[in-house]
Structure 1
């Protein structure tokens, strides 16, 4: 079994607390991504799993065995680093088989395992080359091959695609996901790129300030974010947030005064400050009615256009998938498709209705 349990793990450097009691359960064969902004503690947590950092308290259990005091080589893990960490004087084959050689494996066993990994990763024509003769993507595949030959219980990836260009990152995302589906080995993967997290993970762990904000499948986190941080971090472009209050038991009033009748409302008192979260793709152009929005920035991407607009002093991003003729400074009318929208308490930033609840209303009356 390749299960991994992280139980109330904490990490401090002197008097500075970095990781504040993290709990994560990872099932056998699961692809789990640790995601969050720079400095949130995700790489530190990965290094503690690997044994490259000591933990201050708590337990890390791999395959039913507590590994807190085991050296990295005794944990039955393999790590793929951001900078590949290949030996420049060795060939691809030698790099891939070096760990087995150190472990005293026989030459025939090393040759067999290196050949199998090279076949999986399409590296057969490159086995006699040195790292300096390879592209960035090829070097990353060699680093992955070096991990595969060890047949570990858990693969650890530390931002492996951050040094690649955009096109190659897309290709390597697909290769790593395909590799996981073939090997069915437990993977813990660190990235700050939420697109990588959304497209690759079975389960995402969102971290901020050394704490777990939410754990769930990509769509669970996208559709039912626990708080404003998770809602704003996952999704590209990010979710829009509009400040306002509930009045008369069923009307949402924006900060600038625009009013909308709601079919159902969160259970809060009139006048309570709220934040409405709505995805950029849930804004739509109106012919006559709707909210006045002033166009500030227009960014064509080909398949869609990202438009920054100002609504009553608050900036929103609007994703347009049809061809529209817009210009800077133009005022347009927008409606909000709110079946997928959310209310958040402004003070606590928590989503009203609970993590597992449905959206708090069906439809919003900014008419169109």
Structure 2
């Protein structure tokens, strides 16, 4: 296994720069996920590590060796794509062993490697089948096996679960995480799904428009987002934001544009009388029939364990995760409490986190 280091990484297509001076250090054996919306540059960055995209500036090192000028084969990496990229005319065993065959490995050694990999991934009963005879999850395991059998320094995953249905994605997330724990391998994984990132990663790299917004453990990014983009991207349902002005005397009250007041648990010191953006996660909003801020129920979504409620608060839509036995109807008033220590405050201009 190996470390991966990117220093001042840039990628341009003519005059258009899509990766802007990325610095990133991935430790040996670490599971790092690149996450962000479509078009943020995460797949481009992964392809730069793989050698499938030339780097326009900076350096990429794998295992301490600068690989800018090396071909993908010379980098000793293995990549798993979202479309599986299996050879339809070959059996599972042949798909697994093909790269070893073209590298000149002996047939007995290939057989040993293939059988060992198949056992790790639960593919042994399927070795004689062809891809057309496999389910989506089985095909994805074969694609992963084809990478594992090569014993690379680094595994690169490019949205490998995006073609699977919801239940299968949950199962495959657990399988990939268990595989990482078993192999102790260095993995760089790309996804647009923040749930995948939160549940699988040792560390998450949040990208926006080719720039790294924040790097950290899942819970560090969830609890301490650097800015509104990170705060709103991580977490499901997404964080709520509302703009208002803090009380001039420093008391924990936010006055909204229409003059209504939201009572808080705390407010940032030294910001009295200033405009701020309040950020609060749906799970941290509660019902308070006495002291809560009035809002109008717009949508009710029961999920079984709890109820998601979209409400209008002085012209702003807020999502709350409330108890399963929510007793209000659409159009009725509900009084919501924001008096939780888990609120966040952001600067309305820079969008940086204040508190």
TM-score category of the 2 structures, normalised to the smaller one:
over 0.9
SS in 2 for 1:129: coil
CA distance in 2 between counterparts of 1:154 and 1:284 reads 45
Q: Answer yes or no: is 1:311 the counterpart of 2:313.
A: yes
The C-alpha deviation readout for 1:66-122, integer Å capped at 9, x for no partner, is 000100011010000010000000000000111111110011111011111100100
The equivalent residue for 1:185 is 185
Superposition pairs of residues 1-368 of structure 1, within 5 angstroms: 2-251=2-251, 252-260=254-262, 264-352=266-354, 360=355
The C-alpha deviation readout for 1:30-82, integer Å capped at 9, x for no partner, is 00000000000000000000000001001000001000010001101000001
Q: 1:105 to 1:340 in 2, by over 3 A?
A: same
Unaligned runs of 5+ in 1: 353-359, 361-368
Quote the offset at 1:255 in angstroms: 2.6
- Kept in 1: contact 2:262–2:293 (CA 8 A): no
CA distance in 2 between counterparts of 1:32 and 1:20 reads 19
CA distance in 1 between counterparts of 2:9 and 2:126 reads 41
- Kept in 1: contact 2:264–2:338 (CA 8 A): no
- Kept in 2: contact 1:19–1:41 (CA 8 A): yes
SS in 2 for 1:339: coil
Q: 1:55 to 1:310 in 2, by over 3 A?
A: same
Quote the offset at 1:305 in angstroms: 1.3
CA distance in 1 between counterparts of 2:141 and 2:262 reads 54
The C-alpha deviation readout for 1:107-145, integer Å capped at 9, x for no partner, is 111101111110010000000000000000000000000
Quote the offset at 1:181 in angstroms: 0.2
CA distance in 2 between counterparts of 1:121 and 1:10 reads 36
- Kept in 2: contact 1:10–1:57 (CA 8 A): yes
TM-score (norm 2): 0.97
Quote the offset at 1:184 in angstroms: 0.3
SS in 2 for 1:55: coil
CA distance in 1 between counterparts of 2:343 and 2:102 reads 56
The C-alpha deviation readout for 1:164-216, integer Å capped at 9, x for no partner, is 00000000000000000000000000000000000000000000000000000
How many residues end up aligned between the 2 structures? 353
SS in 1 for 2:164: coil
CA distance in 2 between counterparts of 1:184 and 1:258 reads 54
Unaligned runs of 5+ in 2: none
SS in 2 for 1:78: strand
SS in 2 for 1:326: coil
CA distance in 1 between counterparts of 2:258 and 2:24 reads 42
SS in 1 for 2:226: coil
- Kept in 2: contact 1:307–1:318 (CA 8 A): yes
- Kept in 2: contact 1:77–1:153 (CA 8 A): yes
SS in 1 for 2:324: coil
- Kept in 1: contact 2:263–2:338 (CA 8 A): no
CA distance in 2 between counterparts of 1:9 and 1:133 reads 42
CA distance in 2 between counterparts of 1:44 and 1:217 reads 22
- Kept in 2: contact 1:250–1:264 (CA 8 A): no
CA distance in 2 between counterparts of 1:261 and 1:199 reads 33
- Kept in 1: contact 2:264–2:339 (CA 8 A): no
